[in-house]
Structure 1
Amino acid sequence: MTTPLGSKAGTVFVSEKLRKELQTYVKSVPPKSLTDKLFYSQKRPQEGWNSNTLCQFYHYLFKSVGIEGASSHSPRRTLITNLADKGVSVRVLQSIARHANISTTQAYIDVNDAMKRKAIELI
């Protein structure tokens, strides 16, 4: 799917599982036109979600399940870390994250003991 991301247009890749979930959602809430949004704001039902709406959603979601210190950026960091743990190259991660500098992507990757053990077992 091609979409504007900030000031850049690009392709957003979704997993087969997410694609099926989105198809199910669209069937349950069919759009009236191609310009309809997938998700609408509760406070402003005529508007789709914006970055602030999404930040607030994550804030309350994390708070409701007792996750302290998480932000709307936490899932992005988790995605990048999990893909790195599965052996995806930093260059591919940089492209997925749309970071201009690879050092930014590297800063997103949290290293844990399981990752270190896995690396040592490669020897």
Structure 2
Amino acid sequence: MTSDRRASWLKGVLDLLVLASLTAGENYGYEIAKDLAESGLGQIKGGTLYPVLNRLEEAGLVTAEFRATERGPGRRYYRLTDLGRQTLAEQGGLWLGFEESVRAVLARGHVETPQPAGSHEGKLR
């Protein structure tokens, strides 16, 4: 398997990442995508992000409000609901447990992990 699997991994966790990106406050789609890209997740296109936002809104995990702007098109601002915060806490905890299990299995295979600059760790913990 030589193909890059990150896109399929991202698909499985994007809902949680979008919810997490809204914990600091309301935001609109372009800025959410920019925040996720700056976190090292790569470019997330509108055709991927907006269906996620719509699904989260339909599930009651976020609310959306359209606001006109003085310049350019209006924007839909998304805000996390109490149910969204609760879901993020529950599902985020489950994801972190899963991630820990994946790390443990990969560590048995002596898989190296990229480290931030200046880090001296080489293997998965």
For normalisation by structure 2, the TM-score amounts to 0.30
The structure in which a higher percent of residues are strand is 2
TM-score for both structures, normalised by structure 1: 0.30
More relative contact order, 1 or 2 (CA 8 Å, 6+ apart)? 2
